[in-house]
Amino acid sequence: MTRVLGYFSYRTAIAYPLAEIAKVGVIEDTIDRKPVVIFYAPGQLSALDKRLIADSKEVGSAAMFSAVVNERQLTFDYYKGVISDNQTRSQWDVFGRAINGELMGTQLRPVLRSNVHFWFAWAAFKPETKVYERST
């Protein structure tokens, strides 16, 4: 079953397939004229795959945040499993916390209208959804 990180507002509905997010680790986008960033982390196990979660397949997790910190827009890279911003080289975790560097202790603001869902369920309630595709 395809999992997506979905976002909706009164004018926008967009879904980011977790498989696409996993390929790059970080996705930067603009939604409703606001810069956002999506972080991916491997390791989350499916609660629906096997009787015991410990035996389940890895599905990963993702979260969306505002890319603006202290009125400054940050851009991000993902390299060898490490998320860092290009402005200060601070390192970030999937929860949007700076865990190392100049911005250590800073928390990115979560985008509240974004959550991980199964695509079939999301599409049933938000059929107008645009599916994100990376430009190549």
Question: What is the residue-wise DSSP string for 13-61?
Answer: EEEEEHHHHHHHSEEEEEETTEEEEEEEES-PBPSSSSSSGGGSPB--E
Contacts of 58 (CB under 8 A, 6+ apart): 42, 43, 44, 45, 46
Pick the CATH number of 3-130 from 3.40.50.2300, 2.102.10.10, 3.40.50.970, 3.40.50.300: 2.102.10.10
Residue type, 12: T
Contacts of 78 (CB under 8 A, 6+ apart): 24, 25, 26, 40
Domain spans of the chain, in order of start: 3-130
pTM for the predicted model, two decimal places: 0.89
pLDDT-derived band at 43 (thresholds 50, 70, 90) equals low
Per-residue pLDDT reduced to its tens digit, 115-130: 999 999 999 999 999 9
Any bridge partners for residue 131, and if so which? Answer: 15
Per cent of the chain over pLDDT 70 is 93
Q: What is d(CA 6, CA 30) in angstroms, rounded to the nearest whole number?
A: 14
pLDDT-derived band at 49 (thresholds 50, 70, 90) equals low
pLDDT-derived band at 45 (thresholds 50, 70, 90) equals low
